[in-house]
Structure 1
Amino acid sequence: MTAAVPEPVPVIVVMGVSGSGKSTVGGLLAERLGVPYAEADDFHPPANIAKMSAGHPLDDSDRAPWLDAIAAWIAERGDRGGVVSCSALRRRYRDRLRASAPGLFFLHLDGSPELIASRLAARMQHFMPSGLLASQFEALEPLEPDEAGAVVPVTGGPQQIADAALAALPGHAGAV
């Protein structure tokens, strides 16, 4: 009997609104999969951070260089796998990222506005003010059936959410 060859890990984008747990779950997921993790906030130019810190939502022209930088990181990962957090709220943003790696897999961390607002209010040391949360929910376009991805509810602690995220990955069903 031959041992099963593990499926290669795709590049995974952990997406969702601010406060949904993208950084925490993304880091846990990358650790469990043994692949690098990148925090999308680190790709923002200083002007974007200043704009959001002042309580102003980003527009598409603000997001373009940020998405391009994330896409470049994704393309560098090739077939070696990786996890990156990125809000990826709109389909066109996901399409822009997917152009750099057609096998990209999206994990949408999903929760009610009330739950996310309570988590965002408890968060410290982040430039994204809670006042912008409503604009993020308004902009959110859920994954469509033709997009490789899964929705993971954020009702539970980080370890439970990471377990559910891992189980949602192709070739990892029941891997908790």
Structure 2
Amino acid sequence: MPRWEPNAQQRLMRAALDLFTEKGYDATTVNEIADRAGLTKTTFFRHFSDKREVLFAGQDIHRRLLAQAINAAPEAATPLDAVREAIGALAAVFTDDRREFAARLRPIVADHLELRERAALKRTGLVETLAKALEERGVPDLTADLAADLGMRAFDNAFDQWVVPANERSLTDLARRAFDELRAAMAFLHG
């Protein structure tokens, strides 16, 4: 086997998802994932710290995208408008070719407390990234925290719709609609 092969991380992710679907998360080993991907256990650990992390790849990229989009928002943008731009940037990386993977991943995560906890930790990290970027723009802490959490709530709602097999809309479009619904709900609360 060659020392280096292209797309190792993606191959490991696909292999893990296939095995988790076939055998179950608990019954699948790192060795089996590496074997299915045609790679070694050592290669697996170059990319992921454990089998749980193979399902949550890209978090650093997502955090960077969110922070960059907040920083690039116009100076006059409201905190929620800046978050909307950041969520749009994040949604744009979830192209339609990733929808099937995401849809298959959802029930695996839902069925395992350990994975649900990791998903919650990832979400918390994304909210913290948004809030910190807003604070760096001079937004007060509470306002930044609220805008960040509302933005992720809109993203989560859009993502839930995006993975439905019958859905044909992009995650970007669904995220825009979720933000519009969020604004309408806030206006209703305001009275």
Greater relative contact order, per chain length (Cα 8 Å cut-off, separation 6+): 1
* TM-score normalized by the length of structure 1: 0.34
* TM-score normalized by the length of structure 2: 0.32
User: Which one has a larger percent strand, Structure 1 or Structure 2?
Assistant: 1
